[in-house]
Structure 1
Amino acid sequence: MIFPVYVYGSAVLREPAEEIADRSLITPRFIEDMFETMYSSDGVGLAAPQVGRNLRLFVVDASPNADDDPRLADFKKVFINPEIYERSEEEVLMGEGCLSVPGIHEEVYRPERIRIRYLDENWQEHDEEWDGFAARVIQHEYDHLDGVMFVDRLSPLRKTLLRGKLSSMSKGKYKASYRTKQK
C-alpha cells in the first residue's frame, strides 16, 4: 500500500517520534509499504512520521546512486530506534530535498561522517560508521524522528526567502507528483 506523505505544516512532522518498545507495532507489511511509498515518490529515504506514524523508524535505499558511489550498491536499510552518537566536526554543503517539502531544494551543511546504532527489520543490532551521501541520507531521515526538517537547517537569510513558499505549503498550496496529506 502506498501511504500519503505528510507535508510541511503537518503537526506529526514536528513531534519527536516515540521509541519502539513493542515489536508488534512494526510489521513486515508496514516496512514494505514504507519502501513502496518511498519508491513511488522517487525518494531515497522515508521516516515513519512522514506517513503519519510517530515512531522511531526510517527506511533508505540509495542503491540507485551506486554509479556515482559504488559503496551505495547495497545501501537499502531499515533503521529502528536509531541513535546517532558521533558526528564529525567536518561539515559538507550539499543540495537536499524532502518528500514532505515538495518542490524545494536547498544547500544544507551536515557532518561528513557519523556513527549510528540501530535495529534492523529483524531486530538485529548494528553499530556502523557512514560518510558521504549515505551519512547525509541517514542524518536527513534521523532529523525527522526528532521533529526537525531540512529547511530548519538553512541560514536565516534562506529561511526568510522561503518563508512565503513554506507558508503557502502549510496552507495546501503546492504541487507534488505523489499522494500527500496535511493534518
Structure 2
Amino acid sequence: MAVRPIIAFPDPRLRRPAQPVMRFDADLSALAADLLDTMRAAPGIGITAPHIGVLSRVVVLELSPGEVRNFVNPELVWASPEMIRHTEGSVSMAGVTDDVERHARVRLRYRDLDGVERSEEVDGFWAVCHQHEIDQLDGVFWLDRLSRLKRDRLIARYNKLRRGVTL
C-alpha cells in the first residue's frame, strides 16, 4: 500500500478511456489499496486508476469514513430522467469546484475485487459520484459537463492556484 502521485489537470492521460480489467488478482487488490491511500492523502472521497496514470477501469469510493467501496469495470445501465445538481471537483484539479447537473438515480453493473459481478441502484450523492467517476474512466473530465464560460473561469482559477497567486 502506497500513496502514488496524482496526475494533475490538464495532463492528456486524464482524457484517455480506461481499459477493462481482465485479471482479478493480488495486483488488482494492491492497486485498489494504493488508490485508497492516495485518495485519503489527497484528500478526496473518490478516485479512479487513471488519476494515478493507470488506465484501468477501477474506482474507489469512501463517501463515509471507513466505508470503502471498490468498483471494477463499472458501467451505467440505467439513469433516471430526473436531474440534480451537486458540487463536484477532482483530486487531479485540487482547489476548484462547481455545480454539475447529473441524473438523480442510476443503476450500475460492476465487479468486485474478486471478479464477482454485482449491480445496484443508487440515488442522490452516490449517483452523482458514480457518474463522475465513470465519466473519468471514459476519459470525460468533470469540467466537460460545464458551460464553456464556467470551464474557462475554473481553469483560470486553477492555474492561479498552481502558480501560488492569491485569489
Give 1:43 deviation, angstroms: 0.7
The residue aligned with 1:54 is 55
Written as runs of structure 1 = structure 2, the 5 A alignment for 1:27-176 is 27-64=28-65, 74=67, 76-165=68-157, 168=159, 173=162
CA distance in 1, matches of 2:163, 2:28: 32
Where relative contact order (Cα < 8 A, 6+ residues apart) is larger, the structure is 1
State TM-score, norm by structure 1: 0.82
Q: Is the 8 A contact 1:16 1:54 kept in 2?
A: yes
**Residue identity in the other structure for 1:27:** L
State TM-score, norm by structure 2: 0.89
* Alpha-carbon distance change, 142 to 57 in structure 1, aligned in 2, over 3 angstroms: same
Give 1:30 deviation, angstroms: 1.7
CA distance in 1, matches of 2:153, 2:12: 23
**Paired residue secondary structure (1:31):** helix
What number of residue pairs does the alignment pair up?
A: 163
**Paired residue secondary structure (2:125):** helix
The residue aligned with 2:4 is 3
CA distance in 1, matches of 2:111, 2:129: 17
* Alpha-carbon distance change, 162 to 79 in structure 1, aligned in 2, over 3 angstroms: same
CA distance in 2, matches of 1:37, 1:174: 23
Q: Is the 8 A contact 1:118 1:125 kept in 2?
A: yes
List structure 1 segments (4+ residues) > 2 angstroms apart after TM superposition: 22-27, 160-166, 172-175
Give 1:164 deviation, angstroms: 2.7
- The gaps in structure 2 that reach 5 residues or longer are none
CA distance in 2, matches of 1:130, 1:38: 22
CA distance in 2, matches of 1:126, 1:144: 20
What RMSD in Å do the two structures reach over aligned CA positions? Answer: 2.0
- The gaps in structure 1 that reach 5 residues or longer are 65-72, 176-183
The C-alpha deviation readout for 1:7-41, integer Å capped at 9, x for no partner, is 11112111011111233484322211111111111
